[in-house]
Chains A and B, each alone.
Chain A
Amino acid sequence: MHFSVLLPKVRPLRRSTLASLLVLLVGLVGCGRTNVVSIDGSSTVFLLSAAIAEEFNEVSPDVKVVVSQAGTGGGFKKFAAGEIQICDASRPITEAEAAACKKNGIEFIKLEVAFDGLAVVVNPANDWCDSITTDQLKTIWRAEAAQSVMKWSDVNPDWPDIELELYGPGTDSGTYDYFTEVINGEAKSSRQDYSPSESDNALVQGVAGDKGSLGYFGLGYYAENTDKLKLLSVDSGDGPIIPTAATVRDGTYKPLARPLYLYVRQDALRNEGVVKYLNYYLDKVNDVSPRVGYVPVPDEVMEANRKTLDAAVPRVAVN
């Protein structure tokens, strides 16, 4: 029976179209997971891990490296849940996070891959402040400063009566954890009436746009924006020190220099791709660090990293 003779002249849906869609679906499902190294965590360490992944891809294109940046806290959550193999961290793992890993049966090793200085920056139009003491930083950033330390003159009477506009990383950031711990004395204890952003660029833009601004973030971001920002020296009692590669490495820029870590799942080291990537990482990281504004680790630390890694790799996978 052909009603179409009488009714609208349109073609019914073609069966071949449906069939080809089905074939596409089956084809897609048929492919399995490829050899993947999954990394998430600190946006500070992301720069290193991604840059090394890029070069690694040229020598070992068969190993697929995926790098994301959920923040150190977010990374450890995924790490403890077993969703990723490597966690980029800009602070050591906390007891609570380590307990979460243990509960899920996740053992790990820690590799120290670089040093990062935290830069305290102000607007270039700021002509009253070249250096700041850690006590003044605490006066500005401690929790009690909220709604009370609002002007530069509140910190130091010699400074002008200009609104203090504060910019800093958000609470999921390892930079935030580290800064609050060494400056305010307790991790995550900070005034909250500042402009937070997980995006370091947003912080750069914020500080660059306000005469009375002050902000802190990784030194690497300052290095890319020297024309928009003014870097402050930090005085922790031994005189003002400007952060440079030398002062970050030898520890004189304190307390705002910190080590950066990779946390690696022990059982991920059964995956040959992970081992290859990590070995490549340790070979290259000291070359890459200065290019993204970080400071290489000394040779003895690198040696210790290699020992840790070698000891953790199961014999079978090394070949």
Chain B
Amino acid sequence: MSSLPRNGRPYAKLASQLFAYACAACAFSSVAILVLLLSQMLRFAWGWLDWQFITSFDSQLSPDKAGVRAALVGSIYLIALTTLFSVPIGVGSAIYLEEYAQRSRWRGIVQTNIANLAGVPSIVYGILGLGLFVRGMQMGAGVLAGALTLTLVVLPIVILASQEALRAVPSTIRQASYALGATRWQTVWHQLLPAALPGIMTGVILALSRALGEAAPLVAIGAAGFVMFTPRGINDSFTALPLQIYNWTENANDDFRIHVAAAGIIVLMVMLICLNATAVFLRYRFGKRIHW
């Protein structure tokens, strides 16, 4: 034990410790922001967030009658359909790019494009959705058009995450499978996909939590402002949680703007946390079963 480190810099140890504290402060600041946000929202939503809030439709005039029913069901519909569209297309694309496509220039172009598309702001997809689905294909601003638009938003993320997951499967697995005479299809279906599943699911769920929080593309396609019903079919008008919250914050009445909106935010946050917890759980649960 010497007071001076061997490299001769007297403050090296102190600097090293300070650096550790600084990094810890960075890590805690992000948690602090979350705690601050949640506590603030809980304070505003206190007394407003109850069972009645979950089961009632929106109200235009009475804040104590307002609720998230239409928005909650709308969001669930959207997410279910978005999953249905984005998972097969996304995982299919990833399998093609990872397992089938030759390393050609063409593949490079597609790959670069997907990476760039992942960074395109969602409002751009909203305008595309308005032109393509709502007007072009005459779908109207129903649940189907909304889900297809959100699919556009999350598809690049799903593809990239699935590619990562497939790439993480050791190549020895592929080789062993082929060595035993399996076809490419058998290798993909029986070996690669199950092994990559936890990674794919995590990616998909994180992408879906993004879709759940998107308001901009739904505003762009013209999703409804005020609805007193839940969608029955895929062409029905709908509203979603982020939209509903946005509309409440636009209300002239303070009770709506602060308290009802905060209660809506809590519902959205709880849904997001549930989705992310599912991702963690799936990774843990399925991850355990894979032994190489």
Q: Is A96 an interface residue (CB 8 A)?
A: no
Q: How big is the A interface, by class?
A: 35 or more
Q: CA–CA, A57 to B57, complex, Å? A: 10
CB–CB B225/A201 < 8 A: no
Contacting A at CB under 8 A, from B16-46, are: none
Known contacts A21-B84, A40-B222, A54-B59; A8/B191 CB under 8 A: yes
Q: Which of A29, A32, A53 contacts B226 (CB 8 A)?
A: A53
Given contacts A7-B176, A12-B189, contact A201 B228 (CB under 8 A): no
Q: Is the CB of A33 within 8 A of B193?
A: no
| Chain B: CB-nearest residue to A30 | B233
Contact of B194 (CB < 8 Å), options: A8, A220, A223, A291: A8
Are B236 and A36 in contact, with the CB atoms below 8 A?
yes
**A64 with B228: CB separation less than 8 A:** yes
A224 and B252 form a contact (CB under 8 A): yes
Contact partner of A201 (CB less than 8 A), chosen from B222, B251, B291, is B251
User: What's the nearest-Cβ distance from chain B to residue A13, in Å?
Assistant: 6
Contacts A40-B222, A51-B61, A66-B226 hold; do A32 and B189 have CB atoms under 8 A apart?
no
B84 touches A34 (CB 8 A): no
Q: A3-B177, A10-B289, A38-B237 are in contact. Are A201 and B80 (CB under 8 A)?
A: no
A6 to B177, CA, bound (A): 9
Binary interface encoding of chain B residues 43-72 relative to chain A, with 1 for a CB under 8 A from any of its CBs, else 0: 000000000000001111100000000000
Complex Cα–Cα for A147 and B73 (A): 50
Whether A10 and B60, one on each chain, are in contact in the complex, defined by CB atoms closer than 8 angstroms, is no
Separation of A24 and B79 alpha carbons in the complex (Å): 13
- Bound: A68/B189 CA distance, A: 46
Q: How many chain B residues touch A (Cβ–Cβ < 8 Å)?
A: 50
Tell me, yes or no, whether B249 is within 8 Å of chain A by CB: yes
A-contacting residues, B246-292, CB 8 Å = 249-254, 257, 286, 289-292
The answer to whether B61 and A4 touch across the interface, beta carbons within 8 angstroms, is: no
The complex places the Cα of A9 from the Cα of B60 at a distance, in Å, of 56
Partner of A67, one of B57, B224, B292: B224
Assembled-state Cα–Cα distance A8/B225 (Å): 51
Mark interface residues in A60-80 (1 if CB within 8 Å of B CB, else 0): 010011111110000000100
Check A11 for interface membership: any CB of B closer than 8 A: yes
| Beta-carbon contact of A65 and B289 below 8 Å | no
Contact across chains for B222 and A70 when beta carbons are under 8 A apart: yes
Contact call B195/A10, Cβ cutoff below 8 A: yes
Known pairs A47-B60, A69-B225 / 7 extra A-B pairs, C-beta < 8 Å: A6-B176, A10-B197, A31-B233, A34-B229, A81-B135, A223-B252, A225-B252
B→A interface (CB under 8 Å): 57-61, 80-81, 84, 135, 140, 173, 176-177, 180-182, 186, 189-191, 193-195, 197, 222-229, 232-237, 249-254, 257, 286, 289-292
12 of the cross-chain contacts (CB-CB < 8 Å) are A3-B177, A3-B182, A7-B173, A12-B190, A12-B194, A33-B235, A36-B237, A51-B60, A54-B58, A57-B228, A64-B227, A81-B135
A-B CB proximity, top 3 nearest: A31-B233, A224-B252, A10-B194
